[in-house]
Amino acid sequence: MAGAPIVQNVMTVPRSKPEGPMNLVGLTRQAMWDELIAIGTPEKQAKMRVRQIWQWIYQWGVRNFDDMTNLSKSFRAELAEKFIIKIPEVISKKISSDGTRKWLVRISGSHEVEVVYIPEEGRGTLCVSSQVGCTLTCSFCHTGTQRLVRNLTAGEIVGQVMVARDDLEEWPVPGNPNSETRQLSNIVLMGMGEPLYNFENVRDAIKIAMDPEGIQLSRRRITLSTSGVVPEIARTAEEIGCQLAISFHATTDEVRDKLVPINKRWNIEVLLAALRAYPKVSNSERITFEYVMLSGVNDSDADAHRLVELIKGIPAKINLIPFNEWPGAPYTRSSNNRIRAFADIIHKAGYSSPVRKPRGEDIMAACGQLKSATERARKSRKQIAAEVGLEG
């Protein structure tokens, strides 16, 4: 037996109609079409209307139906009566000394999630959350100490991108695409939550972000990170087609069981088989193996050699992440020398092995430090230590 099965207790947000006016943000084009038909839009006009509304919302960042000047006044009034255009509400914003921004946003039900924007030379990456909390309990992850509260809707996921574009003041002036000052060039689903346990909403949100008549981010600029939900990996390739990152973090099942407990359900061998079969894998589409460097736990030379052996044949890039500490964490970060030695072995084996620079540490915005302020069920330090076998 490979250990106890992981019980999934995901409270899926109903995808049926909510009470009150429907939010257009997050609807697929087809769903928006259905809604327009339902309010009596003639079928031969509906496709065009979807296109117009879509462009107003996602290309120009408009939130008022009244500003949609290529629609008739009466149609605008009808839309305003039946629908809303709503994105998460910003509660607070912090800016790090390195320029990283972190927003705490509120979504319906008074839940809160964090969104992080990381400016870099020539690009800007937005780290988006997919769940409030997480059902998984990776022992080094701050989010993992918070139980899942709920899945985010597609509108709440793509809404985070819109919140960031608002704050970065980068929407173009309507009708003038040349006025765009785009900073946000990449999205990573590396915030709170396990995206593949919220597949449909994540898929719909990413598709909206990729739509050429809206936010227009290429699938190469969107990376979904998963702890290894094996059955959804092939589906990710087929239905989304974005870049894939895997939270690998260990080279033996014994260690990975402790760090990434989903490994008890789908172990390293099963995970690697799924990655080998990832249909989109090609030299230009490497899978990113994320590897958090934990002192004395997974950072030996032997680990580096094993890692290289394990992933042989998979077009890959290994992203070494110095552990970002958080209050009560049961691990410490590997020393710089250790990280360098580890990276060296990987590099010599022919893999690119960038070490991720911790960003926004002063505002607790670094990878794995996110956790909503409305934490419900924080586990005690003792409990975490007991689970990873560090007690005593």
> Would you tell me which residues interact with ligand SAH (CB under 6 A)?
138, 140-142, 190, 193-194, 225-227, 247, 290, 292, 321, 323-324, 367-369
Point out the residues that are catalytic: 114, 367
Residues 63-122 that bind ligand SF4 (CB under 6 A): none
Binds ligand SF4 by CB under 6 A, chosen from 134, 157, 206, 222:
134
Q: Which is nearer to ligand SF4, 23 or 145 (CB)?
A: 145
Cα torsion 159, 165, 169, 171 to 10°: value is -90
Binds ligand SF4 by CB under 6 A, chosen from 85, 87, 138, 222:
138
Residues 6+ apart with CB under 8 A from 372: 104, 111, 112, 113, 114, 132, 133, 146, 149, 192
Tokens of 298: 């997974």
Coil vs helix vs strand at 252? coil
Question: For residue 192, which amino acid is it?
Answer: M
Q: Which is nearer to ligand SF4, 137 or 236 (CB)?
A: 137
The CA–CA distances, whole Å, from 195 to 98, 131, 158, 243 equal: 28, 7, 13, 13
Q: Which is nearer to ligand SF4, 211 or 257 (CB)?
A: 257
Rounded to whole angstroms, the Cα distance separating 296 from 298 reads 6
Binds ligand SF4 by CB under 6 A, chosen from 143, 198, 319, 324:
143
Neighbours of 112 (CB within 10 A): 22
Rounded to a whole number of angstroms, the minimum distance from the CB of residue 366 to ligand SF4 is 13
Residue 188 in the binding site for ligand SF4 (CB under 6 A): no
Residue 203 binds what, of ligand SF4, ligand SAH, none (CB under 5 to 8 Å, by partner type)?
none
Rounded to a whole number of angstroms, the minimum distance from the CB of residue 347 to ligand SF4 is 25
Binds ligand SF4 by CB under 6 A, chosen from 22, 25, 136, 157:
136
Rounded to a whole number of angstroms, the minimum distance from the CB of residue 4 to ligand SF4 is 17
Asked whether the beta carbons of 24 and 85 are under 8 A apart, the reply is yes
C-alpha Rg value of the chain to the nearest Å: 22
Residue 190 binds what, of ligand SF4, ligand SAH, none (CB under 5 to 8 Å, by partner type)?
ligand SAH
Rounded to a whole number of angstroms, the minimum distance from the CB of residue 303 to ligand SAH is 16
Residues 263-322 that bind ligand SF4 (CB under 6 A): none
Rounded to a whole number of angstroms, the minimum distance from the CB of residue 166 to ligand SF4 is 26
Rounded to a whole number of angstroms, the minimum distance from the CB of residue 234 to ligand SAH is 17
Tokens of 285: 């589409």
Q: Which is nearer to ligand SAH, 86 or 265 (CB)?
A: 265
Rounded to a whole number of angstroms, the minimum distance from the CB of residue 311 to ligand SAH is 15
Tell me the window of 42-50, 136-144, 180-188, 315-323 that interacts with ligand SF4 (CB under 6 A).
136-144
Looking at beta carbons, which pairs linking 224-228 to residues 24 or more positions away fall under 8 Å? 224/189, 224/195, 224/196, 225/188, 225/189, 225/190, 225/195, 225/288, 225/290, 226/194, 226/195, 226/196, 227/136, 227/138, 227/194, 227/260, 227/262, 228/260, 228/262, 228/263, 228/266, 228/271
Binds ligand SF4 by CB under 6 A, chosen from 24, 71, 113, 141:
141
Binds ligand SF4 by CB under 6 A, chosen from 61, 124, 144, 358:
144
Rounded to whole angstroms, the Cα distance separating 25 from 154 reads 8
Asked whether the beta carbons of 335 and 298 are under 8 A apart, the reply is no
Tell me the window of 30-38, 72-80, 140-148, 162-170 that interacts with ligand SF4 (CB under 6 A).
140-148
Rounded to whole angstroms, the Cα distance separating 324 from 322 reads 6
Farthest CA pair distance, the chain: 71
Coil vs helix vs strand at 265? coil
Q: Which is nearer to ligand SAH, 25 or 329 (CB)?
A: 329
Q: Which is nearer to ligand SF4, 55 or 143 (CB)?
A: 143
Residues 199-258 that bind ligand SF4 (CB under 6 A): 227, 247
Rounded to a whole number of angstroms, the minimum distance from the CB of residue 243 to ligand SAH is 13
Chain positions contacting ligand SF4, by CB under 6 A: 134, 136-138, 141, 143-144, 193-194, 227, 247
